[in-house]
Structure 1
């Protein structure tokens, strides 16, 4: 079988939405090549998840690569991908050069070559993410291991927005908590919440493929007894009360469900938001305050922001 590699030259801001578009179009895995990764001094805690070759990186912006099977619908699929990417400008997302190129690769080359990008990576004090094919021995007795198949879709958990979310969950999840993961993607935040001691985790995503991905990864990590995953539009119709709501999606989407999140969180509970490009920090911060939240933390990694807010305890 032959595969077509689609390569998009775009911006860091557009990585998440374009990756989503590619996955929804049937892509089996996404590779992101950002020249900043070549020069950034990584804190040893985070390790490295992939080997870097300078020749693979653009001078500015990023390359997003994905793989689609070559069939009679390929041309139509590529056209739909291009149209969806162009539509992102309606959401005030900078898509940069937006150059799209197509090339052909053999299945044997693709199936093995992309795996070289993924190695075990320590995300936080406790959490380490490993690809399913890697052998890994925990360094510490309290280390939490999350296994993911990066080829399944929706990320490997090592994008800065996900790292910020995982670090926040590690600080705030307590034994017996109820957690809602809004926009669960691969399920990495859902799994982490369960491993950190939550008694119930409810994962929601509008995309049916994401729900399946979450379900598979949840079983892979043995936390299916405390997790439920379902297709849902943000928190619409959800009456579950939670100690924590976590959401790693675009700033423009976060502000669409701030009110529902407030209603879903118990007094004294927390809203952990990420996926916020630096320029949209004030948009989300102001919206959270407007809906009654108190801002506890604003954290940054590269160009990305996470905000942790609290619903005040009931007074009187």
Structure 2
């Protein structure tokens, strides 16, 4: 089978929502080419980037590449992607150049070339994420290894928003916690919760492909009994009492379910939010405080922000 590589020249802010659009449209694998990766120091805490060719990177902005099978519906699929990406402007997301190009490649080139982007990456003090095809030996006895299959994943764990989320989970989760993952994608945050001590995680995502990806990756990490994936729109009609809620999605989406997160947390429960660009940090911060949360920590990595909030007491009149 031949594949069509669809490349969108966009901004870092738009990477995650466009990646979601790609997967919802049937993309098999997504690659992010950010020129910042060419100059980063990554040989210590965050692992290494291998075999990167500067000629493949834009001078400004980000290339987002996805792979679609060449068939009779390709043109229609590309048009649907273009329309969905343009609708992101309704959320005040900067799309940058928003240029789309197509390039046809054969099966063998596709199945091997994109693997150069995925190598073992240390994302926190304890957790290292590795692709399924890589051999890896733990560097320390307490190191926690997460295996992911990026071919179906909604994130490989190497994006700053995911790193921030996992670092916060590592700091605030405790043994036998009950957790909720809102917008689970590949399931990487759910997996991190369990491997760091959570007893049970309910993983919600609106996209059925994401639910299946979470199921696959939890089985891969031998924790399928501890993670319950379900197709659901955020926390709609969810009624639980969790110790911790994690969510790595757009800031504009986070603010729509803050009240539901409050209702589904135990007193003193922790709400970890990520996927927030610098320009939206204050908006999320203010909405959390207005709902009654106490801001515990604000952490930043590159242009991204995560906010850790705590439900310290019931709101007056609740």
Which of the five TM-score ranges fits, normalised by the shorter chain? Answer: over 0.9
Give the alignment of 1:225-240 within 5 angstroms: 225-240=225-240
Give the alignment of 1:1-316 within 5 angstroms: 1-42=1-42, 44-313=44-313
Determine the C-alpha separation between the residues in 1 that align with 2:50 and 2:279.
28
Contact 2:294 2:310 in 1 (8 A): yes
SS in 2 for 1:125: coil
User: Structure 1 pair 98/315, CA: closer, same or farther in 2 (3 Å)?
Assistant: closer
RMSD: 1.2
Give the C-alpha shift of residue 117 in structure 1: 1.4
Give the C-alpha shift of residue 314 in structure 1: 5.8
Deviations 1:228-279 (A, max 9, x none): 0100110111111100000000000000000000011111110000000110
Contact 1:296 1:308 in 2 (8 A): yes
Give the C-alpha shift of residue 304 in structure 1: 0.4
Deviations 1:41-68 (A, max 9, x none): 2361111244321111101000000100
Contact 2:243 2:265 in 1 (8 A): yes
Give the C-alpha shift of residue 131 in structure 1: 0.2
Give the C-alpha shift of residue 315 in structure 1: 10
Unaligned runs of 5+ in 1: none
Deviations 1:120-162 (A, max 9, x none): 1111110000000001011111111100011113010110000
Give the C-alpha shift of residue 37 in structure 1: 1.2
SS in 2 for 1:26: coil
Give the C-alpha shift of residue 40 in structure 1: 2.2
Unaligned runs of 5+ in 2: none
Give the C-alpha shift of residue 221 in structure 1: 0.2
Determine the C-alpha separation between the residues in 1 that align with 2:121 and 2:42.
12
Determine the C-alpha separation between the residues in 1 that align with 2:166 and 2:201.
14
Contact 1:27 1:153 in 2 (8 A): no
User: Structure 1 pair 83/162, CA: closer, same or farther in 2 (3 Å)?
Assistant: same
Determine the C-alpha separation between the residues in 1 that align with 2:211 and 2:70.
26
Work out the number of aligned pairs and report it.
316
